């Protein structure tokens, strides 16, 4: 039986599978994201392992002017040559091969000095005490040493060991000051009631005397003064 090619479609080719274009797109997206993540992980692992190979450190010194100055610190790794176990050191930043160094000043730290011809030379600090003794150099004169010890003891006694008043004098004076102020305030407020009572009695007596003078017809206290007295009396009793 002949089949018409025009009647063949994508859905008929997959039979009963219901696969849409959106599903295929999501699958491709997930596939590419997985590849990207795996690639990033692989690159990170490669960079970590590669950095671990550069386990040696070289502080490089160079003569600038008349003094040797450190111009940089470089990381190096072993670079094998042939099958006999020979190796060189490869400096990463400047892409330079140098012979392996033997003198170190710290774990995996090998200082080098760059000569005028550009050659790197491994060096060490040496025994400074032995060199000074060989040269006959005295560290400190005996009289100067004794003078320095005496000055150090005096400074320690003056500034390190403080007396009781140096430590707590200011705090004690502040406490005494606040106690005096507190006692004075207590005394003032304790006597305030007596002052108010006596002032009120005095004002009542003045007002009574003025009323008697008005009844008798004698001119006495100035009316303005009476207003002041009345206002003071009202204020005093309101406070009391």
Residue 180: per-residue pLDDT: 86
Q: Which residues pair with 64 in a beta bridge?
A: 67
- Average pLDDT, stretch 220-230? 50
Is there a contact between 111 and 61 (Cβ–Cβ < 8 Å)? yes
- In this structure, the answer to whether residues 121 and 137 fall within a common structural domain is no
Average pLDDT over every residue of 166-173: 80
Residue 188's domain comprises 171-239
At residue 15 the predicted structure's pLDDT band, cuts being 50, 70 and 90, is very low
Per-residue pLDDT averaged across 6-27, rounded?
55
Mean of the pLDDT values across residues 84-100? 86
Q: pLDDT tens digits for 34-51?
A: 888 988 998 999 888 888
Range picked from 117-121, 126-130, 208-212 for highest mean pLDDT: 117-121
Question: Is residue 65 domain-shared with residue 119, that is, in the same domain?
Answer: yes
pTM over 0.75: no
Higher per-residue pLDDT: 3 or 154: 154
Identify whether the C-beta of residue 221 lies closer than 8 Å to the C-beta of residue 210: yes
In a domain, 154, yes or no: yes
**CA separation for the pair 113, 149 (Å, rounded):** 40
* Mean of the per-residue pLDDT values of the chain: 75
Q: Within this chain, do residues 147 and 90 fall inside the same structural domain, yes or no?
A: no
State the pLDDT confidence band at 228, using cuts at 50, 70 and 90.
low
Strand, coil or helix: 158: helix
- SS3 string of 32-56? HHHHHHHHHHHHHHHHHHHHHHCCE
Q: Which two tokens stand for residue 111?
A: 């200082």
Domain contains 15: no
């Amino acid at each position: 039986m002949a089949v018409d090619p025009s009647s063949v479609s994508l859905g008929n080719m997959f039979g009963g599978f219901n696969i849409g274009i959106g599903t295929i797109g999501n699958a491709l997206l997930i596939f590419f994201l997985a590849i990207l993540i795996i690639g990033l992980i692989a690159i990170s692992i490669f960079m970590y392992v590669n950095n671990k190979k550069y386990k040696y450190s070289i502080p490089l010194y160079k003569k600038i002017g008349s003094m040797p100055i450190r111009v940089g610190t470089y990381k190096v790794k072993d670079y094998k040559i042939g099958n006999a176990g020979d190796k060189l050191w490869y400096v990463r930043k400047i892409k330079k091969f140098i012979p392996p160094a033997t003198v170190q000043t710290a774990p995996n730290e090998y200082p080098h000095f760059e000569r005028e011809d550009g050659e790197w030379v491994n060096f060490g600090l040496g025994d400074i005490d032995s060199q000074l003794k060989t040269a006959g150099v005295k560290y400190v004169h005996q009289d100067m040493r004794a003078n320095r010890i005496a000055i150090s003891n005096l400074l320690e006694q003056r500034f390190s060991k403080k007396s009781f008043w140096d430590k707590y004098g200011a705090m004690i004076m502040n406490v005494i000051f606040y106690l005096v102020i507190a006692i004075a305030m207590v005394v003032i407020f304790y006597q305030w009631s007596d002052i108010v009572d006596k002032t009120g009695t005095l004002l009542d007596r003045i007002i009574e005397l003025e009323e008697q003078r008005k009844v008798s017809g004698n001119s006495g206290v100035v009316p303005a003064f009476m207003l002041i007295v009345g206002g003071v009396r009202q204020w005093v009793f309101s406070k009391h």
